[in-house]
Amino acid sequence: MKCLPGETRCSGTCSKDAVNCHSHCLVSAWLLRLRKPAGDLVKLIQNYIDGSFVPGKQEFADINPADGTTIAKVTAADEAQVGGAVHAARLALHGEWGRLAVRERAARLHKVADAIEKRFDCFVQAEVADTGKPVSLASNLDIPRAAANFRVFADLVKMAGLESFQTETLDGANALNYAVRKPLGVVGIVTPWNLPLLLLTWKVAPALACGNTVVVKPSEETPATATLLSEAMQDAGIPHGVYNVVHGFGPGSAGEFLTQHPDVDAITFTGESKTGAAIMKAVAPTVKPISFELGGKNAAIVFADCNFEETISGLSDAVFLNTGQVCLCAERAYVERRIFSAFVEALKRKAERLHSGWPNDEETNLGPLISAQHRDKVLSYFRLAREEGATVVTGGGVPKFGDDRDHGFYVQPTIYTGLPETARCVKEEIFGPVCHIAPFDSEEEAVSMANDTKYGLAASIWTSDLKRGHRVAQQMNVGITWVNCWFLRDLRTPFGGAGLSGIGREGGMHSLNFYSELNNICIRL
Ligand code: NAD
């Protein structure tokens, strides 16, 4: 099957040709076609409320970061529509969904995963079109992980036990304490653009597994896959109102309408630390559980005894994966002085071999940044680094292609050295394909520089001395530390950040505990 530009036939049966058709095959029931005055076809991404696709009154453009073209129009939910979504979610709590046995809920979540896999190519293309990320990344990471999120939490919730204690009362009788897990209620989920479906389902799956209903507000930059997920929900027999999607921006828009809504029982958010602060303020008057996964300024510590080739390869991923737009990316590397020059040179060679191609080209391993606005921000840090006295090892500018990618939001992979530890470029999250490398002379010095940040998300240690690996890892003030690897994680383990990087932990039982209200029952025996 070959999709033509603007085709509406895609429903999970895309062929390879369709995959290669460069974003045109993602049209489905969730997209209407509109005719612009010029006669071009654009697509309309709508809200999904109480099982129906609902247009809003205001539209905004969904831009392809690879060439700056508009790939769809998105209709924003107004305050009343966000309220309608919350109301639908409230009613659904007490409907069929609320009556399902845990094993049946889990079975439906497996069906959601099946439905994602059935529409795999559509999801990949939607994600690639929205983010400009390489098709290899969307197909190997984003979409498989989205399906895995549903499977993992479906299985976990079936096995989840809770502690019980037999206690002696003051008058010598016995009492049995045991806890039961209940849904929190309606969960508001606000997510970013960097790993859109992966991060959204990381929260939707455990929330639903625990019996909640959800209203999600995906990033305005990446509205497609959250909307496409509505179809997967329908396929899987998830009742109307259990999964709702409202589109729009943050302040004065759907994000704020959702987080301020008094009838939302909990808010879980992934995004920038300063947005987390604004949401915390919005949520405060109605006192509800929050879970925040926020920004980072992550350090890598490279000891001279590391496996050099493996470390260069690992660090190249840690700095440049998804064009540096992963909260866990390393923007600071501290390298033992003995190997500093060789290390900088080797990482430079690696950076210069990255291929900034079209997203659908299998060879591409470096996509554009998400938006013109974000590129301006990253370029402003490139300028600032020079003003702060950095030596530019490689990059620091915008590549020239001589084709439509020149209208996209690409920047060069960039490495700096020579900045003082107090420089803003060393302290502030840039969220681009950029790393500052500094030398160190002792383990203590490396630990102290790595920990000298208000963030506390992730760190990586590279050494062949495992004892040192343990010792240094345990001193890191972060939510996750990798030794001789990066980005690996079992979904059952805790994930979150310290300091400005977040509040709480999700993952495995930590997710189930966040998305549940525990009722401790005490019985006098
Ligand atoms: P962002 O904070 O700008 O936006 C995230 C979401 O919040 C969007 O949906 C946005 O519309 C919404 N929003 C913005 N202001 C709001 C407000 N006042 N009220 C309610 N909603 C609001 O973040 P971003 O630019 O989309 O994502 C990049 C950031 O996310 C980086 O800082 C990155 O480190 C962080 N991030 C963290 C993790 C993690 O797990 N810790 C994962 C991915 C990304």
Nearest atom in ligand 1 to 195's CA: 43
Does 293 contact ligand 1 (Cβ within 6 A)? Answer: yes
- Three-state DSSP at 491 gives coil
Residue 440 reports pLDDT greater than 50: yes
Q: What is the mean pLDDT of residues 455-461?
A: 98
**Token pair for 316:** 């190249």
DSSP 324: G
- pLDDT tens, residue by residue, 330-367: 999 999 999 999 999 999 999 999 999 999 999 999 99
Residue 6 reports pLDDT greater than 70: no
User: What is the pLDDT, as a whole number, of residue 162?
Assistant: 87
Distance in Å, CA 479 to ligand 1 centroid:
18
**Token pair for 511:** 């997710």
- pLDDT tens, residue by residue, 276-333: 999 999 999 999 999 999 999 999 999 999 999 999 999 999 999 999 999 999 999 9
Render the burial of 169-196: b for 16+ CB within 10 Å, e for the rest: eeeeeeeeeebebebbbbbbbbbbbbbb
**Token pair for 198:** 């992966």
Any idea where the domains of the chain sit in the sequence?
A: 78-294+505-517, 298-488
Residue 16 reports pLDDT greater than 50: no
Residue of 197, 247, 272 to test ligand 1 pocket, by largest number of atoms within 8 Å of CB:
272
Largest CA distance in the chain: 85
Nearest atom in ligand 1 to 218's CA: 9
Distance in Å, CA 179 to ligand 1 centroid:
34
Distance in Å, CA 292 to ligand 1 centroid:
10
**Residues pairing with 483 in the sheet:** 461
Pick the CATH number of 298-488 from 3.40.309.10, 2.30.22.10, 2.40.10.10, 3.40.30.10: 3.40.309.10
DSSP 3: P
Q: Do 78-294+505-517 and 298-488 fold alike per CATH?
A: no
Does 507 contact ligand 1 (Cβ within 6 A)? Answer: no
Q: Which CATH superfamily is domain 78-294+505-517 in?
A: Aldehyde Dehydrogenase; Chain A, domain 1 (3.40.605.10)
> Average pLDDT of the chain?
92
Does 26 contact ligand 1 (Cβ within 6 A)? Answer: no
Q: Select from 334, 330, 349 the least CA-distant residue to 463.
A: 334
Please state the pTM of the whole predicted model.
0.93
Residue 10 reports pLDDT greater than 70: no
Q: Which residues are catalytic?
A: 293, 327
> Which amino acid residue places its CA nearest to atom 40 of ligand 1?
293
User: What is the pLDDT, as a whole number, of residue 42?
Assistant: 53
Residue of 190, 257, 370, 381 to test ligand 1 pocket, by largest number of atoms within 8 Å of CB:
190
- pLDDT tens, residue by residue, 107-117: 999 999 999 99
